[in-house]
Amino acid sequence: MASEADLLMELNSNFKSAVLPVTIFIGFEVAVGFVGNLLVLYVFLFRYHTCNFRYFVLCLALIDFISTLTTMPGEIFAQQNWYAYPFPVLCKVISFFNVYTVTGEAVCLYIIAVDRYLKICMPLGWQIRPRQALVLCGCIHIVAVVMAIPVSFLWGVNSHTETYKNMSVNSTVCSGAPYGYVHTVEVIVWFCNLIVFSMYIDVAKKLILGGSRFRRRTGSHRADFSTAQCSSTENALSSDNTRSEDGCCSTSDKLTKTELDIKIDVEQSSNLSTKCNGLSSDVVIKVEDVRKVKTNKKNPGQVNSNSSTLITTAIVHQKEHHVEQKTLIMLILTIIFIITVVLYLFLLKTISSSYHILQKMDNHAKAAYFFFFRLMFINHVINPIIYGCLDQQFKAVLLDVKHSILRACKRK
């Protein structure tokens, strides 16, 4: 007759076999997420211009990178030792990072939604500046830590009695029953999701309706711009900082007599021609593009009147494109997050209400449960893929890195 220890090992082995596809899937996510988020951290930390988008992406990437080092490997370990979890302290640590990463990503995406709403729907009102965005990123991590601390006390290794082959087997499972805590978090998340959803509806309306009006307006008036109408643009050329789509963007380029670096101040954007009213205050001008503009031969520091018209049109078109692009990126990430977090909280609430619900499932039902329960991990992996598809500067830097690696390999 098999001993209780042998039965426990057999029970755990059967569970490992049942959830093996889920374990492999999470392992694949760990590998992709580790490399992808490492690339995101490199690009946005060293090769991206200074703006709100940069800081928020770095905040998300750091949270996702932490998850690939803690939560996701911890889940693999838990699935391999589900009925015989050996380390109580590790259970608490992994549970802490699980809530920390989910909460941090949620708060960050909510703040990003507010930032996008202000830029699209209230372009002439108060905006989050890059320095304020950096402070908010620090606050995001503080809030995530505060929300995760209770889990260290509510979650841990607990003993359960399992029935296996008509015998009672004592198991040790990394679990908890913080039903009240989970219910409270669920209410907060639902409330925040409704607010974010309503904001993105307004943003979508503004982009769709406002974009068509803008294109009609700029298309009909482009040829009618005069030197006088664009004189404010020429006045803006002498400002000290090139602005990115979300704020100041530092540059090492300097003005010369033969080359013109266009310096646009977003604070002066409201002083541009009335044709530009109603647009967001984020301006995107690439210095290498602007240098192609013809200058006055008698006065190299002065832009021809025809060029002024082209510059004004280029500014507003480039501005609209970049704002829409980054808003689309964050909208996609937010939608995916909301869907997965709602599913995650529903399944967590289900198991927290009664452990016996999970206990009564067979191994294949448990495998399906854990697959959908841990579908939340997709949020820590998909971000680099979305950036690679939709962010032009991110793609350009990756291509540059690829070419550098290929050149280095050829030298060898």
What is the largest distance, in Å, between two alpha-carbon atoms of the chain? 102
Q: How far apart are CA 32 and CA 25, in angstroms?
A: 11
Lowest mean pLDDT among 121-130, 152-161, 321-330: 321-330
CATH 1.20.1070.10 domain locations along the chain? 4-207+329-411
Look at residue 40 and tell me whether its pLDDT is greater than 90: yes
Nearest in space to 356 (alpha carbons), one of 91, 183, 177, 168? 177
Per-residue model confidence as pLDDT tens digits over 268-286: 444 444 444 434 334 444 4
Residue 115 vs residue 1, higher pLDDT = 115
Per-residue model confidence as pLDDT tens digits over 53-109: 899 999 999 999 999 999 999 999 999 998 889 999 999 999 999 989 999 999 999
Look at residue 239 and tell me whether its pLDDT is greater than 80: no
Q: How far is CA 145 from CA 99, 123, 138, 154, in A?
A: 9, 33, 11, 15
Averaged pLDDT of the chain:
76
Prediction pTM value: 0.74
Q: DSSP label at 207?
A: I
Residue 343 vs residue 296, higher pLDDT = 343
pLDDT of residue 242: 39
Nearest in space to 316 (alpha carbons), one of 285, 286, 290, 287? 285
Which run of H or of E encompasses 169?
Answer: strand 167-176
Look at residue 176 and tell me whether its pLDDT is greater than 80: no
Q: How far apart are CA 310 and CA 223, in angstroms?
A: 10
Give 308's pLDDT tier (boundaries 50, 70, 90): low
Q: Which CATH superfamily is domain 4-207+329-411 in?
A: Rhodopsin 7-helix transmembrane proteins (1.20.1070.10)
pLDDT of residue 171: 87
Give 355's pLDDT tier (boundaries 50, 70, 90): low
Q: How far apart are CA 405 and CA 303, in angstroms?
A: 41
Alpha helices by DSSP H, 175-304: 179-205, 211-221, 231-236, 287-290
pLDDT of residue 277: 40
Per-residue model confidence as pLDDT tens digits over 193-216: 888 888 888 888 887 776 555 455
Look at residue 236 and tell me whether its pLDDT is greater than 50: no
Residue 131 vs residue 356, higher pLDDT = 131
Give 7's pLDDT tier (boundaries 50, 70, 90): confident
Look at residue 223 and tell me whether its pLDDT is greater than 50: no
Give 406's pLDDT tier (boundaries 50, 70, 90): confident
pLDDT of residue 281: 39
Look at residue 266 and tell me whether its pLDDT is greater than 80: no
pLDDT of residue 137: 96
Residue 210 burial (10 A CB sphere; 0-12, 13-18, 19+): middle
Own/partner pairs, 219-228, CB within 8 angstroms, 24+ separation: 221/275, 222/309, 222/313, 225/273, 225/275, 225/308, 225/309, 225/312, 225/313, 226/305, 227/305, 227/308
